[in-house]
Structure 1
Amino acid sequence: MGFPVSLRVDDAGVTGAAGDAVFAWLREVDERFSPFKPGSEVSRYGRGELAADQLSADLVEVLDLCERYRVATGGAFDARLPGRGLDPCAIVKGWSVQRAAELLRDAGARRFCLNAGGDVAVGGGPWRVGVRHPEVADKLCTVLELTDGAVATSARYERGDHIIDGRTGAPATGLLSVTVVAATLTEADAVATAAFAMGADGIAWAAGRAGCEVYAVDAGRRVLRTAGFPPAVSGAGAA
Protein backbone atom coordinates (compact mmCIF):
# COMPACT_ATOMS: atom_id res chain seq x y z
CA MET A 1 0.00 0.00 0.00
CA GLY A 2 3.01 2.28 0.37
CA PHE A 3 2.21 3.56 3.87
CA PRO A 4 2.47 2.28 7.46
CA VAL A 5 -0.66 0.92 9.12
CA SER A 6 -1.24 0.59 12.86
CA LEU A 7 -4.21 -0.81 14.73
CA ARG A 8 -5.34 -0.59 18.34
CA VAL A 9 -8.39 -2.50 19.61
CA ASP A 10 -9.54 -2.03 23.21
CA ASP A 11 -12.30 -4.65 23.28
CA ALA A 12 -11.29 -7.57 25.47
CA GLY A 13 -13.49 -10.05 23.63
CA VAL A 14 -12.02 -9.36 20.19
CA THR A 15 -9.33 -11.87 19.24
CA GLY A 16 -6.17 -11.33 17.24
CA ALA A 17 -7.91 -12.93 14.29
CA ALA A 18 -9.76 -9.65 13.72
CA GLY A 19 -6.48 -7.78 13.32
CA ASP A 20 -5.12 -10.52 11.10
CA ALA A 21 -8.16 -10.14 8.84
CA VAL A 22 -7.58 -6.39 8.58
CA PHE A 23 -3.98 -6.75 7.44
CA ALA A 24 -4.82 -9.67 5.13
CA TRP A 25 -7.45 -7.49 3.45
CA LEU A 26 -5.04 -4.57 3.02
CA ARG A 27 -2.42 -6.90 1.50
CA GLU A 28 -5.08 -8.23 -0.87
CA VAL A 29 -5.99 -4.68 -1.88
CA ASP A 30 -2.36 -3.93 -2.61
CA GLU A 31 -2.12 -6.92 -4.91
CA ARG A 32 -5.37 -6.23 -6.72
CA PHE A 33 -5.44 -2.45 -7.00
CA SER A 34 -1.86 -1.22 -7.16
CA PRO A 35 -1.09 0.55 -10.46
CA PHE A 36 2.57 -0.21 -9.79
CA LYS A 37 2.15 -3.98 -10.02
CA PRO A 38 1.83 -5.19 -13.63
CA GLY A 39 -0.36 -8.14 -12.72
CA SER A 40 -2.91 -6.24 -10.63
CA GLU A 41 -6.49 -5.91 -11.80
CA VAL A 42 -6.05 -2.15 -12.08
CA SER A 43 -2.96 -2.47 -14.26
CA ARG A 44 -4.53 -5.08 -16.50
CA TYR A 45 -7.65 -2.96 -16.96
CA GLY A 46 -5.57 0.13 -17.60
CA ARG A 47 -3.72 -1.70 -20.39
CA GLY A 48 -6.98 -2.85 -21.96
CA GLU A 49 -6.51 -6.53 -21.05
CA LEU A 50 -9.82 -6.62 -19.16
CA ALA A 51 -13.17 -5.42 -20.44
CA ALA A 52 -15.51 -3.45 -18.19
CA ASP A 53 -17.82 -6.44 -17.80
CA GLN A 54 -14.90 -8.54 -16.54
CA LEU A 55 -14.08 -6.33 -13.57
CA SER A 56 -14.63 -7.30 -9.96
CA ALA A 57 -17.47 -5.63 -8.09
CA ASP A 58 -14.87 -3.94 -5.87
CA LEU A 59 -13.06 -2.30 -8.78
CA VAL A 60 -16.36 -1.22 -10.33
CA GLU A 61 -17.22 0.47 -7.03
CA VAL A 62 -13.83 2.21 -6.88
CA LEU A 63 -14.08 3.43 -10.48
CA ASP A 64 -17.60 4.71 -9.86
CA LEU A 65 -16.27 6.73 -6.91
CA CYS A 66 -13.44 8.08 -9.05
CA GLU A 67 -15.93 9.24 -11.66
CA ARG A 68 -18.21 10.78 -9.06
CA TYR A 69 -15.40 12.96 -7.69
CA ARG A 70 -14.11 13.80 -11.17
CA VAL A 71 -17.51 15.20 -12.07
CA ALA A 72 -17.97 16.94 -8.71
CA THR A 73 -14.63 18.77 -9.02
CA GLY A 74 -14.94 19.71 -12.67
CA GLY A 75 -12.04 17.42 -13.55
CA ALA A 76 -9.57 18.56 -10.87
CA PHE A 77 -9.72 15.08 -9.35
CA ASP A 78 -9.02 12.52 -12.05
CA ALA A 79 -7.77 8.93 -11.88
CA ARG A 80 -6.88 9.06 -15.58
CA LEU A 81 -4.39 11.87 -16.08
CA PRO A 82 -2.94 12.47 -19.55
CA GLY A 83 0.30 10.60 -20.08
CA ARG A 84 -0.29 8.36 -17.09
CA GLY A 85 -1.96 5.02 -16.64
CA LEU A 86 -5.09 4.42 -14.61
CA ASP A 87 -4.32 5.30 -10.98
CA PRO A 88 -7.26 5.10 -8.53
CA CYS A 89 -5.01 5.16 -5.43
CA ALA A 90 -6.56 8.39 -4.15
CA ILE A 91 -9.84 6.51 -3.74
CA VAL A 92 -8.48 3.05 -2.95
CA LYS A 93 -6.66 4.08 0.24
CA GLY A 94 -9.64 5.50 2.13
CA TRP A 95 -12.06 2.98 0.66
CA SER A 96 -9.94 -0.02 1.63
CA VAL A 97 -9.19 1.20 5.15
CA GLN A 98 -12.87 1.97 5.70
CA ARG A 99 -13.66 -1.59 4.61
CA ALA A 100 -11.05 -2.77 7.14
CA ALA A 101 -12.79 -0.76 9.87
CA GLU A 102 -16.05 -2.48 8.93
CA LEU A 103 -14.32 -5.85 9.24
CA LEU A 104 -13.38 -4.89 12.79
CA ARG A 105 -16.96 -3.93 13.63
CA ASP A 106 -18.23 -7.19 12.15
CA ALA A 107 -15.81 -9.02 14.47
CA GLY A 108 -17.31 -7.25 17.48
CA ALA A 109 -14.83 -4.40 17.90
CA ARG A 110 -16.44 -1.24 19.26
CA ARG A 111 -13.44 0.73 20.51
CA PHE A 112 -10.61 0.85 17.97
CA CYS A 113 -8.23 3.16 16.15
CA LEU A 114 -7.00 2.24 12.68
CA ASN A 115 -4.27 4.57 11.41
CA ALA A 116 -3.18 4.27 7.77
CA GLY A 117 -0.39 6.66 6.94
CA GLY A 118 -1.93 9.39 9.10
CA ASP A 119 -5.49 8.88 7.89
CA VAL A 120 -7.54 7.52 10.76
CA ALA A 121 -10.78 5.60 11.26
CA VAL A 122 -11.98 5.28 14.85
CA GLY A 123 -14.80 3.78 16.84
CA GLY A 124 -15.94 3.95 20.45
CA GLY A 125 -13.91 7.01 21.41
CA PRO A 126 -13.19 9.58 22.40
CA TRP A 127 -9.90 9.38 20.52
CA ARG A 128 -7.48 12.25 20.10
CA VAL A 129 -6.16 12.68 16.57
CA GLY A 130 -3.30 15.03 15.76
CA VAL A 131 -3.15 17.06 12.55
CA ARG A 132 0.45 17.49 11.48
CA HIS A 133 1.86 20.94 10.77
CA PRO A 134 2.33 21.14 6.97
CA GLU A 135 5.84 22.60 7.23
CA VAL A 136 7.27 21.45 10.58
CA ALA A 137 7.46 17.68 10.88
CA ASP A 138 7.56 17.47 14.67
CA LYS A 139 4.69 19.89 15.34
CA LEU A 140 0.91 19.62 15.21
CA CYS A 141 -1.52 22.24 13.92
CA THR A 142 -4.26 20.96 16.16
CA VAL A 143 -5.48 17.91 18.05
CA LEU A 144 -9.12 17.00 17.61
CA GLU A 145 -11.32 14.61 19.53
CA LEU A 146 -13.41 12.07 17.68
CA THR A 147 -15.69 9.30 18.95
CA ASP A 148 -16.78 7.56 15.74
CA GLY A 149 -15.76 8.51 12.22
CA ALA A 150 -12.69 9.32 10.20
CA VAL A 151 -10.04 11.97 9.62
CA ALA A 152 -7.90 12.35 6.49
CA THR A 153 -5.28 14.89 5.47
CA SER A 154 -3.89 15.68 2.02
CA ALA A 155 -0.66 17.64 1.86
CA ARG A 156 2.71 17.93 0.15
CA TYR A 157 4.96 17.13 3.12
CA GLU A 158 5.35 13.36 2.67
CA ARG A 159 5.42 12.89 -1.12
CA GLY A 160 6.00 16.37 -2.51
CA ASP A 161 3.93 17.56 -5.49
CA HIS A 162 2.16 14.23 -6.00
CA ILE A 163 -1.39 15.57 -6.24
CA ILE A 164 -2.13 16.78 -9.76
CA ASP A 165 -4.87 19.18 -10.81
CA GLY A 166 -6.53 17.20 -13.59
CA ARG A 167 -7.75 20.40 -15.23
CA THR A 168 -4.21 21.64 -15.89
CA GLY A 169 -1.98 18.58 -15.59
CA ALA A 170 0.21 20.56 -13.16
CA PRO A 171 0.83 19.91 -9.46
CA ALA A 172 -1.74 21.45 -7.15
CA THR A 173 -0.06 24.24 -5.19
CA GLY A 174 -2.82 26.48 -3.84
CA LEU A 175 -2.93 24.76 -0.44
CA LEU A 176 -0.41 23.44 2.06
CA SER A 177 -2.76 20.93 3.65
CA VAL A 178 -6.43 19.98 3.89
CA THR A 179 -7.90 17.88 6.70
CA VAL A 180 -11.42 16.50 6.45
CA VAL A 181 -13.55 14.86 9.15
CA ALA A 182 -16.40 12.67 7.88
CA ALA A 183 -18.43 9.63 8.83
CA THR A 184 -16.25 7.30 6.72
CA LEU A 185 -12.63 7.30 5.63
CA THR A 186 -13.80 6.65 2.08
CA GLU A 187 -15.34 10.11 2.04
CA ALA A 188 -12.83 11.92 4.24
CA ASP A 189 -9.84 10.81 2.18
CA ALA A 190 -11.45 11.37 -1.21
CA VAL A 191 -12.75 14.82 -0.28
CA ALA A 192 -9.39 15.87 1.19
CA THR A 193 -7.51 14.79 -1.94
CA ALA A 194 -10.08 16.31 -4.29
CA ALA A 195 -10.08 19.60 -2.38
CA PHE A 196 -6.29 19.75 -2.48
CA ALA A 197 -6.34 19.15 -6.23
CA MET A 198 -8.75 22.07 -6.65
CA GLY A 199 -6.42 24.48 -4.87
CA ALA A 200 -7.79 27.44 -2.94
CA ASP A 201 -11.30 26.82 -4.30
CA GLY A 202 -11.24 23.37 -2.76
CA ILE A 203 -11.80 24.65 0.77
CA ALA A 204 -15.28 25.98 0.08
CA TRP A 205 -16.05 22.96 -2.10
CA ALA A 206 -15.13 20.51 0.69
CA ALA A 207 -16.95 22.58 3.30
CA GLY A 208 -20.08 22.36 1.18
CA ARG A 209 -20.08 18.57 1.15
CA ALA A 210 -22.78 17.17 3.44
CA GLY A 211 -21.31 15.70 6.62
CA CYS A 212 -17.79 17.03 6.01
CA GLU A 213 -15.88 19.39 8.30
CA VAL A 214 -12.65 21.01 7.10
CA TYR A 215 -9.39 22.36 8.52
CA ALA A 216 -7.09 23.82 5.86
CA VAL A 217 -3.86 25.79 5.57
CA ASP A 218 -3.59 27.74 2.33
CA ALA A 219 -0.46 28.77 0.44
CA GLY A 220 -0.46 32.07 2.34
CA ARG A 221 -0.32 30.08 5.60
CA ARG A 222 -3.78 31.13 6.68
CA VAL A 223 -5.75 28.59 8.71
CA LEU A 224 -9.38 28.12 7.69
CA ARG A 225 -11.78 25.83 9.50
CA THR A 226 -15.48 25.13 9.30
CA ALA A 227 -17.64 25.88 12.32
CA GLY A 228 -18.36 22.20 12.91
CA PHE A 229 -14.75 21.01 12.81
CA PRO A 230 -14.03 19.40 16.21
CA PRO A 231 -12.47 21.97 18.58
CA ALA A 232 -8.84 21.61 19.56
CA VAL A 233 -8.16 19.69 22.76
CA SER A 234 -5.08 19.85 24.95
CA GLY A 235 -2.98 16.99 26.23
CA ALA A 236 -0.91 14.16 24.83
CA GLY A 237 -2.02 10.90 23.31
CA ALA A 238 -2.90 11.93 19.77
CA ALA A 239 -3.20 9.05 17.31
Structure 2
Amino acid sequence: MGFPVSLRIDDPGVPEEAGEAGDAVFAWLREVDARFSPFKDDSEVSRYDRGELSADELSADLVEVLDICERYRADTAGAFDVRLPGRGLDPCAVVKGWSVQRAAGLLTGAGRSRFCLNAGGDVVVSGGPWRVGVRHPEFADRLCAVLDLTDAAVATSARYERGDHILDGRTGRPVTGIDSLTVVAPTLTEADAVATAAFALGAEGVEWAAGRHGCEVYAVLPGGRVLRSSGFPTAETAAA
Protein backbone atom coordinates (compact mmCIF):
# COMPACT_ATOMS: atom_id res chain seq x y z
CA MET A 1 0.00 0.00 0.00
CA GLY A 2 3.05 2.22 -0.07
CA PHE A 3 3.29 3.00 3.65
CA PRO A 4 4.36 1.23 6.85
CA VAL A 5 1.70 -0.26 9.12
CA SER A 6 2.21 -1.03 12.81
CA LEU A 7 -0.10 -2.58 15.37
CA ARG A 8 0.08 -2.60 19.16
CA ILE A 9 -2.35 -4.70 21.17
CA ASP A 10 -2.42 -4.05 24.92
CA ASP A 11 -5.21 -6.41 25.94
CA PRO A 12 -4.35 -8.91 28.66
CA GLY A 13 -4.74 -12.48 27.58
CA VAL A 14 -3.16 -15.20 25.51
CA PRO A 15 -0.38 -13.80 23.25
CA GLU A 16 -1.21 -16.35 20.55
CA GLU A 17 -4.74 -14.97 20.25
CA ALA A 18 -3.44 -11.44 19.80
CA GLY A 19 -0.99 -12.74 17.21
CA GLU A 20 -3.78 -14.38 15.25
CA ALA A 21 -5.79 -11.15 15.31
CA GLY A 22 -2.76 -9.23 14.05
CA ASP A 23 -2.20 -11.77 11.27
CA ALA A 24 -5.79 -11.26 10.12
CA VAL A 25 -5.24 -7.48 9.99
CA PHE A 26 -2.17 -7.72 7.77
CA ALA A 27 -3.74 -10.37 5.55
CA TRP A 28 -6.71 -8.05 4.97
CA LEU A 29 -4.48 -5.08 4.16
CA ARG A 30 -2.49 -7.17 1.67
CA GLU A 31 -5.79 -8.18 0.06
CA VAL A 32 -6.86 -4.53 -0.16
CA ASP A 33 -3.59 -3.61 -1.84
CA ALA A 34 -4.05 -6.35 -4.43
CA ARG A 35 -7.68 -5.49 -5.15
CA PHE A 36 -7.81 -1.70 -4.99
CA SER A 37 -4.38 -0.37 -5.96
CA PRO A 38 -4.50 1.79 -9.12
CA PHE A 39 -0.82 0.94 -9.58
CA LYS A 40 -1.43 -2.80 -10.13
CA ASP A 41 -2.64 -3.68 -13.63
CA ASP A 42 -4.68 -6.66 -12.45
CA SER A 43 -6.45 -4.93 -9.53
CA GLU A 44 -10.21 -4.50 -9.57
CA VAL A 45 -9.78 -0.72 -9.66
CA SER A 46 -7.47 -0.85 -12.69
CA ARG A 47 -9.69 -3.32 -14.55
CA TYR A 48 -12.76 -1.17 -13.90
CA ASP A 49 -10.93 1.95 -15.00
CA ARG A 50 -9.96 0.27 -18.29
CA GLY A 51 -13.56 -0.76 -18.90
CA GLU A 52 -12.94 -4.48 -18.38
CA LEU A 53 -15.53 -4.58 -15.59
CA SER A 54 -18.97 -2.99 -15.67
CA ALA A 55 -20.51 -1.27 -12.66
CA ASP A 56 -22.74 -4.31 -12.20
CA GLU A 57 -19.70 -6.57 -11.90
CA LEU A 58 -17.95 -4.68 -9.11
CA SER A 59 -17.49 -6.14 -5.65
CA ALA A 60 -19.64 -4.78 -2.85
CA ASP A 61 -16.47 -3.39 -1.24
CA LEU A 62 -15.50 -1.33 -4.28
CA VAL A 63 -19.06 -0.09 -4.70
CA GLU A 64 -18.95 1.10 -1.09
CA VAL A 65 -15.62 2.87 -1.64
CA LEU A 66 -16.81 4.58 -4.82
CA ASP A 67 -20.02 5.69 -3.08
CA ILE A 68 -17.90 7.34 -0.34
CA CYS A 69 -15.76 9.01 -3.02
CA GLU A 70 -18.82 10.37 -4.76
CA ARG A 71 -20.28 11.67 -1.51
CA TYR A 72 -17.17 13.73 -0.79
CA ARG A 73 -16.96 14.93 -4.39
CA ALA A 74 -20.51 16.26 -4.09
CA ASP A 75 -19.93 17.71 -0.60
CA THR A 76 -16.88 19.69 -1.83
CA ALA A 77 -18.43 20.76 -5.15
CA GLY A 78 -15.74 18.82 -7.00
CA ALA A 79 -12.65 19.91 -5.06
CA PHE A 80 -12.20 16.30 -3.94
CA ASP A 81 -12.33 14.05 -6.99
CA VAL A 82 -10.86 10.60 -7.61
CA ARG A 83 -11.39 10.95 -11.38
CA LEU A 84 -9.24 13.92 -12.34
CA PRO A 85 -8.98 14.74 -16.06
CA GLY A 86 -6.04 13.04 -17.71
CA ARG A 87 -5.56 10.65 -14.80
CA GLY A 88 -6.87 7.20 -14.06
CA LEU A 89 -9.32 6.33 -11.32
CA ASP A 90 -7.47 6.68 -7.99
CA PRO A 91 -9.60 6.08 -4.88
CA CYS A 92 -6.56 5.74 -2.57
CA ALA A 93 -7.60 8.78 -0.51
CA VAL A 94 -10.64 6.83 0.65
CA VAL A 95 -9.33 3.25 0.46
CA LYS A 96 -6.60 3.84 3.02
CA GLY A 97 -8.82 5.01 5.88
CA TRP A 98 -11.67 2.69 4.92
CA SER A 99 -9.48 -0.41 4.84
CA VAL A 100 -7.65 0.37 8.09
CA GLN A 101 -10.96 1.04 9.86
CA ARG A 102 -12.19 -2.33 8.55
CA ALA A 103 -9.00 -3.86 9.96
CA ALA A 104 -9.80 -2.29 13.33
CA GLY A 105 -13.19 -3.96 13.09
CA LEU A 106 -11.46 -7.32 12.64
CA LEU A 107 -9.57 -6.72 15.88
CA THR A 108 -12.72 -5.76 17.76
CA GLY A 109 -14.51 -8.78 16.36
CA ALA A 110 -11.69 -10.98 17.65
CA GLY A 111 -12.23 -9.61 21.16
CA ARG A 112 -9.42 -7.07 21.18
CA SER A 113 -10.51 -3.92 23.04
CA ARG A 114 -7.29 -1.96 23.56
CA PHE A 115 -5.10 -1.42 20.51
CA CYS A 116 -3.41 1.20 18.34
CA LEU A 117 -3.26 0.65 14.57
CA ASN A 118 -0.97 3.08 12.74
CA ALA A 119 -1.01 3.18 8.93
CA GLY A 120 1.53 5.62 7.60
CA GLY A 121 0.79 8.13 10.36
CA ASP A 122 -2.99 7.79 10.22
CA VAL A 123 -4.12 6.13 13.44
CA VAL A 124 -7.17 4.38 14.85
CA VAL A 125 -7.25 3.51 18.55
CA SER A 126 -9.51 1.40 20.72
CA GLY A 127 -9.66 1.88 24.46
CA GLY A 128 -7.45 4.52 25.89
CA PRO A 129 -6.43 7.07 26.44
CA TRP A 130 -3.67 6.87 23.84
CA ARG A 131 -1.25 9.70 23.10
CA VAL A 132 -0.76 10.36 19.38
CA GLY A 133 1.70 12.92 18.03
CA VAL A 134 1.09 15.17 15.02
CA ARG A 135 4.28 15.84 13.05
CA HIS A 136 5.42 19.42 12.57
CA PRO A 137 5.04 20.26 8.86
CA GLU A 138 8.49 21.89 8.67
CA PHE A 139 10.60 19.87 11.09
CA ALA A 140 10.51 16.07 10.93
CA ASP A 141 11.93 15.72 14.45
CA ARG A 142 9.30 17.95 16.09
CA LEU A 143 5.61 17.66 16.96
CA CYS A 144 3.12 20.48 16.67
CA ALA A 145 0.49 18.72 18.78
CA VAL A 146 0.02 15.69 21.03
CA LEU A 147 -3.48 14.25 21.22
CA ASP A 148 -5.31 12.32 23.94
CA LEU A 149 -7.52 9.82 22.09
CA THR A 150 -9.95 7.16 23.28
CA ASP A 151 -11.93 5.10 20.75
CA ALA A 152 -11.17 7.51 17.92
CA ALA A 153 -9.15 8.03 14.76
CA VAL A 154 -6.82 10.73 13.47
CA ALA A 155 -5.56 11.43 9.94
CA THR A 156 -3.31 14.09 8.47
CA SER A 157 -3.02 15.39 4.92
CA ALA A 158 0.14 17.39 4.29
CA ARG A 159 2.72 18.56 1.79
CA TYR A 160 5.84 17.56 3.73
CA GLU A 161 6.13 13.90 2.61
CA ARG A 162 5.01 13.88 -1.03
CA GLY A 163 5.15 17.54 -1.96
CA ASP A 164 2.18 19.22 -3.63
CA HIS A 165 0.41 15.96 -4.47
CA ILE A 166 -3.16 16.89 -3.49
CA LEU A 167 -4.98 18.55 -6.38
CA ASP A 168 -8.06 20.74 -6.36
CA GLY A 169 -10.45 18.82 -8.61
CA ARG A 170 -12.09 22.07 -9.68
CA THR A 171 -8.88 23.43 -11.21
CA GLY A 172 -6.57 20.43 -11.52
CA ARG A 173 -3.85 22.42 -9.78
CA PRO A 174 -1.93 21.52 -6.60
CA VAL A 175 -3.21 22.95 -3.34
CA THR A 176 -0.60 25.16 -1.65
CA GLY A 177 -2.65 27.20 0.83
CA ILE A 178 -2.24 24.65 3.65
CA ASP A 179 0.90 22.96 4.98
CA SER A 180 -0.87 20.26 6.99
CA LEU A 181 -4.40 19.47 8.10
CA THR A 182 -5.27 16.95 10.81
CA VAL A 183 -8.75 15.60 11.49
CA VAL A 184 -9.96 13.61 14.50
CA ALA A 185 -13.17 11.65 13.93
CA PRO A 186 -14.96 8.57 15.31
CA THR A 187 -13.62 6.40 12.45
CA LEU A 188 -10.57 6.49 10.21
CA THR A 189 -12.82 6.16 7.18
CA GLU A 190 -14.16 9.62 7.95
CA ALA A 191 -10.98 11.17 9.38
CA ASP A 192 -8.89 10.27 6.32
CA ALA A 193 -11.47 11.26 3.72
CA VAL A 194 -12.34 14.52 5.47
CA ALA A 195 -8.66 15.46 5.87
CA THR A 196 -7.98 14.94 2.16
CA ALA A 197 -11.19 16.60 1.02
CA ALA A 198 -10.64 19.60 3.30
CA PHE A 199 -7.07 19.96 2.07
CA ALA A 200 -8.32 19.91 -1.54
CA LEU A 201 -10.64 22.81 -0.69
CA GLY A 202 -7.67 24.91 0.44
CA ALA A 203 -7.90 27.33 3.36
CA GLU A 204 -11.71 27.25 3.25
CA GLY A 205 -11.53 23.54 3.94
CA VAL A 206 -10.62 24.09 7.59
CA GLU A 207 -14.01 25.56 8.39
CA TRP A 208 -15.73 22.97 6.16
CA ALA A 209 -14.11 20.09 8.05
CA ALA A 210 -14.79 21.62 11.46
CA GLY A 211 -18.46 21.87 10.55
CA ARG A 212 -18.82 18.15 9.91
CA HIS A 213 -20.47 16.19 12.70
CA GLY A 214 -17.99 14.52 15.02
CA CYS A 215 -14.90 16.04 13.39
CA GLU A 216 -12.24 18.21 15.05
CA VAL A 217 -9.52 19.96 13.04
CA TYR A 218 -5.98 21.25 13.47
CA ALA A 219 -4.41 23.01 10.47
CA VAL A 220 -1.05 24.69 9.91
CA LEU A 221 -0.99 27.31 7.16
CA PRO A 222 2.08 28.64 5.34
CA GLY A 223 3.98 30.97 7.65
CA GLY A 224 3.11 28.92 10.73
CA ARG A 225 -0.41 30.18 11.41
CA VAL A 226 -2.49 27.55 13.24
CA LEU A 227 -6.25 27.10 12.96
CA ARG A 228 -8.01 24.62 15.24
CA SER A 229 -11.53 23.75 16.24
CA SER A 230 -12.50 24.28 19.86
CA GLY A 231 -12.93 20.60 20.63
CA PHE A 232 -9.64 19.35 19.17
CA PRO A 233 -8.37 16.89 21.83
CA THR A 234 -4.88 18.30 22.36
CA ALA A 235 -2.92 17.15 25.41
CA GLU A 236 -0.13 19.64 24.78
CA THR A 237 1.08 21.80 21.92
CA ALA A 238 4.30 23.27 20.64
CA ALA A 239 4.60 26.48 18.70
CA ALA A 240 4.20 25.83 14.97
Normalization by structure 1: what TM-score? 0.96
Stretch moving more, 217-226 or 52-61 = 217-226
What does residue 26 of structure 1 align with? 29
Give percent identity, aligned residues only. 79
Residue 58 (structure 2) aligned to one of 44, 47, 55: 55
What does residue 101 of structure 2 align with? 98
- Distance in structure 2 (CA, Å) of the matches to 1:50 and 1:56: 10
Q: 8 Å contact 1:145–1:233 — kept in the other structure?
A: no
Structure 1, unmatched stretches of 5+, are 235-239
Residues 133-155 of structure 1 deviation map (CA, whole Å, 9 limit, x = unaligned): 01111100010100111000000
Q: 8 Å contact 1:113–1:122 — kept in the other structure?
A: yes
Aligned residue pairs: how many? 234
The within-5 A match list for 1:174-185 is 174-185=177-188
Cα RMSD for the two superposed structures: 0.9
Cα deviation for residue 162 of structure 1 reads 1.0
Cα deviation for residue 219 of structure 1 reads 2.2
What does residue 196 of structure 2 align with? 193
What does residue 81 of structure 2 align with? 78
Cα deviation for residue 15 of structure 1 reads 2.7
Residue 202 (structure 1) aligned to one of 200, 205, 221: 205
- Distance in structure 1 (CA, Å) of the matches to 2:223 and 2:71: 30
Letter matched to residue 17 of structure 1: E
Runs of 4+ in 1 over 4 A off after TM superposition: none
Normalization by structure 2: what TM-score? 0.96
What does residue 6 of structure 2 align with? 6
Cα deviation for residue 161 of structure 1 reads 1.1
Cα deviation for residue 218 of structure 1 reads 1.4
**Are positions 1:219 and 2:226 aligned together?**
no
Cα deviation for residue 231 of structure 1 reads 2.5
Residues 167-223 of structure 1 deviation map (CA, whole Å, 9 limit, x = unaligned): 000011110000000000000000000011110010000000000000001123210
Q: 8 Å contact 2:9–2:18 — kept in the other structure?
A: no
- Distance in structure 2 (CA, Å) of the matches to 1:232 and 1:10: 21
- Distance in structure 1 (CA, Å) of the matches to 2:170 and 2:225: 25
- Distance in structure 2 (CA, Å) of the matches to 1:138 and 1:220: 18
Q: 8 Å contact 1:26–1:96 — kept in the other structure?
A: yes
Residue 158 (structure 2) aligned to one of 145, 155, 158: 155
Q: 8 Å contact 2:29–2:100 — kept in the other structure?
A: yes
Letter matched to residue 75 of structure 1: G
Stretch moving more, 217-226 or 31-40 = 217-226
Cα deviation for residue 128 of structure 1 reads 0.2
Q: 8 Å contact 2:122–2:154 — kept in the other structure?
A: yes
Cα deviation for residue 10 of structure 1 reads 0.8
What does residue 237 of structure 1 align with? none
Residue 39 (structure 1) aligned to one of 29, 37, 42: 42
Cα deviation for residue 232 of structure 1 reads 2.5
SS of the residue aligned with 1:77? coil
What does residue 126 of structure 2 align with? 123
Letter matched to residue 231 of structure 1: T
Structure 2, unmatched stretches of 5+, are none
Residues 47-89 of structure 1 deviation map (CA, whole Å, 9 limit, x = unaligned): 1110000000000000000000000001000000000000000
Cα deviation for residue 118 of structure 1 reads 0.3
- Distance in structure 2 (CA, Å) of the matches to 1:134 and 1:149: 23
- Distance in structure 2 (CA, Å) of the matches to 1:191 and 1:142: 19
Q: 8 Å contact 2:18–2:112 — kept in the other structure?
A: no
